[in-house]
Amino acid sequence: MRGIVAAPGMALAPAYIVTQPEVCTEKRTITDVAEEMERLTSTASACYSQIEGIMDALDGSVDSQTVEILDFQLLLLEDTDFIGKIENAVSAQEVNAEYAIQSVSEEYIAMLNDITDNDYLRGRVADVSDLSQRLINELSGVGNKTAEPEGPYIAVGRDIAPSKVAELDKSKLKGIVLEEGGITSHCVILARSLGIPCLIEATGILLELAPDDLLLLDAVSGEALIDPDAGRTQAYREYIAGKEKEKASLIKYISLKSESLDGIEMKVFANVATSAEAADVVGQGGEGVGLFRSELLYMSQQWRAPTEEAQYAEYSAAAKALEGRPLIIRTLDVGGDKQISYIDIGREDNPFLGYRAIRYCLDHHEIFMPQIAAMLRAGNDGDVQMMFPMITCKKEILEARQIVARARADLDAKGVAFDHDMKIGMMVETPAAAADAGILAKSVDFFSIGTNDLSQYLFAADRANAKLTALNTPFQPTLLRVINVISTAAREEGIEVDICGQAAEVDELIPVWLAMGITNLSVSIPRITAVRRRIRSLRKSECELLLDNVLRLETVEEVRQELREFSERS
């Protein structure tokens, strides 16, 4: 069976077919409303406990996106626009809870689909569907957790709910194959964060597969083979042996310095969303946090923004966990694909081009000031640095700095300790900021290039649109020339310049970043040692010759070929 590689890797194990139990949601009139309400309330409470249990069992083994998926479902169970409407349907219409959940969920999903087609809300639709099915299963007595095989297995299904994947035994789950799914589906996000190979759009596999059939998942070439022959089995074993050897070889890089063969330092930072992840950065030898996504703190709140004290506690904990290493906190990046219920931005036809990030914060000091104050206070507990997202012009930097000055004055007046000399930087992720990099570099202490957003804005191509993937590749020569302009401006002004987008951890591109004079690379935690190994294999003098060639190329294919040939030589 052919499919699309969603998370790379290989696995060989019996198939475990994950099916959705048949439950009845047919409308019934009830006679005892109080009893039905009690039934619904106890079911919602049980599901809340189940999801909390799943989150506790993850124990930091997945990234912040995974936590966000489950946390959103907990918020739904407390949301009057969701669970409240279900309760109202039961009491006002005198209908059974199963029907009420199904009908309200369908209305909620339709509402989300009508708002916009952005990727964030598409993900929320899947979460609502997943939660409603959990509630109905619990009400119907079929349960949500089915017996797993005793040994290792590959989970196969049409599409598998994210909460189902999260509660599977990770020591047994070796791979995932989906007949449907999508490259940005939450099941796929979970698979990536867990390091589990995943193949999607394997059309017809459920018709061919029987439970316990031996399945070879090749999420490298994009195949799933039932009862593989001896040759393919041997190839799998050689692949796994190579991966284990590579994993063992990376351990030594935890304690080695991130510098090239000719002594040029380029530090390896990590992207995180919680203070708990900061300790993992240190454990993997990370030299700091290049991007702390503060919006998860806001998303975890149901009715209002987190208080200054709550934010200070989180930022301080992260700073202390890093033991003096830099902690770069991005201020609230709301809007675009990050919608927060109590922040009413309003409906926008083009949310990625809308009222988001620094644009919103500059107009809403009641949201922005407590965050700035919390960051300044946390600066007393470590090397905290502040970073503004979505900057397009110098005016925005000056206005943001004025708010920082006000926060400092307020803390001084209250006699509260804070960092008086905190470094302040900005994301370079818009074409306007890139074009004016020389001007903006005079107003900040560092740049951080968000290659994901920069690419989509540069090419006017939604990065969540699968049809536009070819435009959003980091191998675009135009993108590389723009990044070179940004890094040159930073170097001429004597400020640091980081890359925190996905391109930071692409092996073939690391020689380009070294040659450009990029100061730090901020990557996913599991990639820290592999990125450091690549840095230590390079000579900047040789990379500079490569960069001269790359900047003259005109197509993605030419860039890939040039970088591939260089990698084979170095």
364-376 in b/e burial notation, b at 16+ Cβ within 10 A? eeebbbbbbbbbb
List Cα–Cα distances, 560 to 189, 349, 512, in angstroms. 26, 35, 12
DSSP 291: E
Identify which of 409, 402, 403, 401 has the alpha carbon closest to the alpha carbon of residue 445.
401
Long-range contacts of the stretch 41-44 (C-beta < 8 A, 24+): 41/87, 43/97, 43/135, 43/138, 43/139, 44/77, 44/83, 44/135
User: CB–CB of 567/538 below 8 Å?
Assistant: no
| CA end-to-end distance (rounded Å), the chain | 36
Long-range pairs of 529-532 with CB within 8 A, sequence gap ≥ 24: 529/250, 529/251, 529/253, 529/254, 529/284, 529/285, 530/250, 530/253, 530/505, 531/268, 531/504, 531/505, 531/507, 532/253, 532/256, 532/258, 532/268, 532/285
186 noted as active-site residue: yes
Containing 17, the helix (H) or strand (E) segment is: strand 9-17
Which one of 186, 187, 198, 361 is the catalytic residue? 186
Read off the tokens for 255: 């304690």
CA atoms within 13 A on the CB side of 264: 21
- Are 423 and 448 in contact, with CB atoms under 8 Å apart? no
Q: Which residues pair with 497 in a beta bridge?
A: 447
Token pair 């199904």 is found at 102
Catalytic residue (choose from 47, 187, 361, 500) = 500
Burial class (CB in 10 A: 0-12, 13-18, 19+), 48: middle
Residue 36 C-alpha from the chain's centroid? 39
The closest alpha carbon to 421, from 387, 471, 379, belongs to: 379
C-alpha span between 454 and 117 (Å, rounded): 20
Q: Given phi > 0 = left and psi -120 to 50 = alpha, else beta, which region is 266?
A: beta
Amino acid sitting at position 145: K
Catalytic residue set:
186, 500
